[in-house]
Amino acid sequence: MSLRPAVLVAALIPLLASPVAAQKLASPLSFTVFAGASIPVGDSSDGINTGYTLGGAADLRVPTTALGGRLEGTYSSWGAKGLAGTGVSADASEFGANLNLVVWFPMTAPVSVSPYVAAGPSFSRFKGSISSGNTSVSVTENHWGFNAGGGVDIALGTLAVRIDARYKRISGDDESFQTVPVTFGIRF
């Protein structure tokens, strides 16, 4: 009888008892649903109010490394500033996608908090609408940009919570649209 299987099992027992190790041995694919504020910054804050953002993400972590990829789908909406009492209403919305490289910062056991940074290209389909009385006009445009930011992932058993903030810049024909989405999510 060989000692090799017994030594391997004895070496794995402490790893399996650690929640961080268990998370690393789990499936490298996870999903997150999130929601939060979408805060306009720069010139974008001149014309629109803070709005909201909703979304979902799929994370693929490369086993035994600090690297991963994240594909996100988002919906955001904002209202226009300064139109109260004018009889005019205006709003903007965006369906977007981000494809990010994620770098996770390793933490020592038994800490269940995993900070990360993420960055990558963004694609957005913007729709702007304005209406006054019985007249309404809307415009839809597609544009590319980028996003960069970070957050923390806090393991809570089989689920985790994620708090994330990032800068998102979408380039238009003559200008850019800039926001800082700040979101809270549940990862499973």
Per-residue pLDDT of the chain (188 residues; tens, 9 = 90+): 444 544 444 444 444 334 444 444 457 999 999 999 999 999 999 999 999 999 999 999 999 999 999 999 999 999 999 888 898 999 999 999 999 999 999 887 777 899 999 999 999 999 999 999 899 999 999 999 999 999 999 999 889 999 999 999 999 878 899 999 999 999 99
Residue 7 lies in a domain: no
Residue 159 lies in a domain: yes
DSSP state for residue 188 in the 8-state scheme: -
Residue 9 lies in a domain: no
Number of domains in the chain: 1
Domain that holds residue 77: 28-187
- Contacts of residue 101, defined as CB under 8 A and 6 or more positions apart, other chains included, come to 67, 68, 69, 118, 119, 120
CA-CA distance, 1 to 115, in Å (whole number)?
A: 45
Residue 44 lies in a domain: yes
74: domain CATH number is 2.40.160.20
Residue 69 lies in a domain: yes
CA-CA distance, 88 to 14, in Å (whole number)?
A: 65
Per the CB < 8 A criterion, the answer to whether 154 and 164 are in contact is: no
Residue 3 lies in a domain: no
